[in-house]
């Protein structure tokens, strides 16, 4: 592509301007990820610089967005990551890319904070994706409601998904009060559907044809009004630098304290332990830690290290293989016997229990036995939502999302609390934090940047301390 035809981002002192949209929907399952990833792929393969973000806590959708853009995908959440972090990441991306895409979470107005809150805070025009497979005129009412439910919400237009025919698309377009809002339609075709399982989309890195899937949708999107738009024809947004607007949370923090200097953290990373925020790795590095990755599924042993992080993922899908990791199991036991810390998060914690059972107990796998008890898979969600965890006087923000429950004689050393709540230790509600020797384990997924001190404590820089209750904020 002729570089002269590719618009360059513009900066004006503290702000950076580029084409930007927030891809949202009236509910989950409408095709947000498909459209966001296809739009990113369409422009990236034309030689443009594209960056994508995911609104809210999510490990799975970012896999597809990263596949489409070839760049790390960070989370934006006004509570978990904070406004200042969101602002800084958006401004940094806008300063070096031609198109910025943010994928929303659930329905446009669902959750606190919602995708609409993010759009309103940063002026991100909403591109609404609506599954129209069983509607006609109601499509117009739904589009009008999404656009006007919150006055002043930035708006880009609407795209119909899973459309039956050209005639069907015409009916949908005619239903709109403002014809200029029509950005096109994607046909109802199973080949355009990204595969799912109980926690959400299957990761792009697990499929050999992931890029072919994205290209197939991008080819169809290219024929729509949205796909024919050049970045200069898309909404242009100016992202201000942190601290330049009234009421900004911008911090004046200095250099990151090197609380983990000289320490090596071994991190499990493969299809069984894949729920890792890139920003969390950045935090550990900035704290001075050396990161050493290993794959239990590939038969890797435990690298020489001072601490271990077992992230979340899908141990239930690989329980048989994990049960056979005898050398790694014994190495972890020796690591713990030597008093070296382990932070086990959700799926990582599941792998440490004695047993993991299917929801009907038809299969029971002997796992690594560093925590007493059994984890049993459930047919329904057992935990979901934003959470915070107090360690001493410091609070980690994060979330929980799991389909299993654990039965253990261990008494929780503490519990997480929901945002804005005060949760006594040991009370019902919140996710349990288990402290068993140097093992710290919970269903809680931590956002490390929310507390550098608490993060350092998880990996043993200082002894772990627990408050009698979690602070409200």
Q: Which residues are catalytic?
A: 346
Q: Decide if 443 contacts 347 (C-beta within 8 A).
A: no
Could you give the CA distance from residue 402 to residue 418 in angstroms, rounded to a whole number? 16
Burial 87-109 (b: 16+ CB within 10 A, else e): bbbbbebbbebbbbbbbbbbbbb
By three-state DSSP, how is residue 112 classified? coil
Can you count the helices (H) and strands (E) in the chain? Answer: 13, 25
Sequence-distant (≥ 6) Cβ neighbours of residue 324 within 8 angstroms: none
The terminus-to-terminus CA distance of the chain in angstroms comes to 49
By three-state DSSP, how is residue 181 classified? helix
In degrees, rounded to 5, the angle at the alpha carbon of residue 156 between the alpha carbons of residues 155 and 161 is 115
Annotate 7-45 with DSSP letters as a single string: PPPEEETTEEEEEEEEEE-SSTTSSHHHHHHHHHHHHHT
By three-state DSSP, how is residue 341 classified? coil
Sequence-distant (≥ 6) Cβ neighbours of residue 456 within 8 angstroms: 259, 260, 287, 462
């Amino acid at each position: 592509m002729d570089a002269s035809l590719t618009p360059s981002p513009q900066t004006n002192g503290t702000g950076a301007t580029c084409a930007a949209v927030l891809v949202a929907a009236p509910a989950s399952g409408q095709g947000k990820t498909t459209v966001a990833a296809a739009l990113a792929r369409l422009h990236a393969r034309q030689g443009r610089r594209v960056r994508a973000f995911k609104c809210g806590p999510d490990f799975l959708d970012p896999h597809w967005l990263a596949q489409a853009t070839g760049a790390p995908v960070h989370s934006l959440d006004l509570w978990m990551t904070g406004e200042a972090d969101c602002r800084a990441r958006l401004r940094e991306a806008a300063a070096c890319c031609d198109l910025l895409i943010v994928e929303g979470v659930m329905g446009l107005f669902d959750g606190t904070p919602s995708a609409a809150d993010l759009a309103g805070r940063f002026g991100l025009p909403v591109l609404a994706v609506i599954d129209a497979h069983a509607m006609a005129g109601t499509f117009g009412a739904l589009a009008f409601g999404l656009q006007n439910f919150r006055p002043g919400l930035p708006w880009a237009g609407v795209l119909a998904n899973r459309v039956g025919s050209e005639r069907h698309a015409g009916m949908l377009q005619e239903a709109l009060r403002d014809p200029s809002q029509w950005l096109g339609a994607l046909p109802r075709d199973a080949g355009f559907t990204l595969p799912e399982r109980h926690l959400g989309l299957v990761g792009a890195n697990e499929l050999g044809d992931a890029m072919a899937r994205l290209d197939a949708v991008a080819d169809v999107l290219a024929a729509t009004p949205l796909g024919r738009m050049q970045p200069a024809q898309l909404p242009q947004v100016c992202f201000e630098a942190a601290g330049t607007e009234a009421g900004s949370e911008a911090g004046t923090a200095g250099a990151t304290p090197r609380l983990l200097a000289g320490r090596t953290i071994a991190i499990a990373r493969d299809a069984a332990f894949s729920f890792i925020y890139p920003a969390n790795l950045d935090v550990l590095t900035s704290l001075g830690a050396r990161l050493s990755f290993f794959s239990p599924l590939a038969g890797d042993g435990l690298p020489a290290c001072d601490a271990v992080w077992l992230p979340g993922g899908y141990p239930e899908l690989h329980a048989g293989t994990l049960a056979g990791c005898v050398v790694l199991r014994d190495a972890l036991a020796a690591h713990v016997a030597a008093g070296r810390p382990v932070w086990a998060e959700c799926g990582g914690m599941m792998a440490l229990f004695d047993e993991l059972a299917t929801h009907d107990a038809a299969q029971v796998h002997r796992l690594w036995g560093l925590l007493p008890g059994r984890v049993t898979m459930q047919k329904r969600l057992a935990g979901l939502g934003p959470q915070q965890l107090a360690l001493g006087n410091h609070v980690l923000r994060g979330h929980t999302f799991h389909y299993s429950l654990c039965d253990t004689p261990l008494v929780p050393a503490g519990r997480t609390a929901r945002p804005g709540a005060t949760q006594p230790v040991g009370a019902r509600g919140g996710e349990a934090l288990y402290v068993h020797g140097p093992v710290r384990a919970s269903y809680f997924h931590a956002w490390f940047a929310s507390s550098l001190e608490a993060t350092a404590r998880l990996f043993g820089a200082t002894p772990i301390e627990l408050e009698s209750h979690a602070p409200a904020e």
